[in-house]
Amino acid sequence: QVQLQESGPGLVTPSETLSLTCAVSGDSISSSYWSWIRQPPGKGLEWVGYIHYSGSANYSPSLKSRVTISVDTSKNQFSLKVYSVTAADTAVYFCARYYCIGGTCSHFDYWGQGTLVTVSS
């Protein structure tokens, strides 16, 4: 049974850095591609970016200048950093696993439960 669990501070000060970690169990982080998705309160889903265990990553064009996703294979987890946050970064942040075959990915098959991060002073 694959499980993903997000963790990190629930409150971040404006202009600071938001840092979250997604711990993966029941599967190796080296088996697939992994992603962060966020959802502001009462709004829709927004794709943030993806990471492969090799370190290959890509990000939403709207966030690219402020986001980094990294992977730690020794801990079987991956992480998200959002820099210079504002109130607009307040959201539930989900981590998810891509279903991939032969390096081609098609959809998310496993999700974390999500964690709410509020940006406020």
Partner 1 sequence: QSALTQPASVSGSPGQSITISCTGTSSDVGNYKFVSWYQQYPGKAPKVMIYEVSKRPSGVSDRFSGSKSGNTATLTISGLQAEDEADYYCYSYTVSDTWVFGGGTKLTVL
Give me the residues that bind partner 1 (CB under 8 A), please: 35, 37, 44-47, 50, 58-62, 94, 96, 99, 105-109, 111-114
Nearer to partner 1, 76 or 105 (CB): 105
Taking the least distance from each CB to partner 1, the nearer of 18 and 96 is 96
* Distance of closest approach, residue 43 Cβ to partner 1, in angstroms: 8
Rank residues 16 and 99 by Cβ distance to partner 1 and give the closer one: 99
Q: Is the torsion defined by CA of 11, 38, 111, 28 positive or negative?
A: negative
We find the least distance from the C-beta atom of residue 86 to partner 1, in angstroms, to be 20
The CA–CA distances, whole Å, from 43 to 23, 92, 118 equal 26, 10, 15
Q: What one-character DSSP code corresponds to residue 55?
A: S
Contacts (Cβ under 8 Å, ≥6 apart) of 101: none
CB of 8 to partner 1, least distance (A): 17
DSSP string covering 5-24? EEES-SEE-TTS-EEEEEEE
Q: How far is the CB of 6 from partner 1 (least distance, A)?
A: 10
Decide if 80 contacts 67 (C-beta within 8 A): yes
Q: Which is nearer to partner 1, 30 or 56 (CB)?
A: 56
